[in-house]
Structure 1
């Protein structure tokens, strides 16, 4: 028993001596002791919390109840290995989204650095310091602009109006596709209206009712110099013979070189309509005036030497004006 105590004290003395020597070399340090059964007894020196150096003591161990008896001599100094360690991945700086809507991709690179370098034979860090990453972006719906469907079939022609027009229409819908998610509505109108001249029914009645004189047997048809309406008994459309046009002044068909045809003068701009029943003076010739019928100015001429009086809507002698 006394021998064992001497051995324990000897080992303790050696350990303290080594630790004092290490402390003198490294200055103020933390202190940690480890005993590994079956291998060796270590005095571990920690410098600012980091293991720096070990003094290994070769020993023999005898296990007794509640204590370990160590005997041995001081061995060589042993320095721990330190393995390389990576830092955590840093969040990537992502590129601009590839799409403005409907789902796109952003990409970038995450990076990391070496938090602890390897030394004293420790393992080096493996792998790359950066890695490619991507994510979805702008997953909201894109606006969808509306589009027109095909037109339906035209309706049947409507009845002839007093202005000698009739119309028909066709329709379309803004559902090809429907506007969605803030998209634009369809441009234009859903209904397309087509008109044409007609000379029947109410048109003929109105033409006869707007005759210059009630006794005139015939009447002008709007926008038509090749036909006229006979107002006696039944209202009937009559044709001028070939080479003649309707002369409203004479209330009969006349030769083309005498009276022209407004239908021959095509213009891109629609003429400004006058008011039915209105009389208009000619700015250049006082003997000429115009009577408005169905929105059309009909040229009239006073017999020579009479001139037109806009106040009485009649032809008078020049001295009576």
Structure 2
């Protein structure tokens, strides 16, 4: 009986997803974010997508619709891992200015007083890779002490 119910649910979800593809984007299985369309293709399977404009959020699709979810502070959605990971390791959050003129050093983030950039050159690397980070809430980066104060 349970197998029959789950098969019916899967068929209904597939029908709804296919029907939605021929229609305009509308809730519960399609939504636009700043001009970027996100569509749940198979909501019964529980899909996850990166938010198209905010790396600190992701979109969870379920049978009841799509939900925008926030990652915990200091983390960002990693689509490859299907989880929130430290934002310095997430490619979609690495939009940082080219200020790395050093190896294994820290620089203030020119766009964020609470932010800083860690410049790291891996073995054999020709140029330092910038990793954008943030101080804990209520603190800001201080270049003179090279720390969050």
Provide the TM-score with structure 1 as the length reference: 0.18
Provide the TM-score with structure 2 as the length reference: 0.35
More helix by share: 2
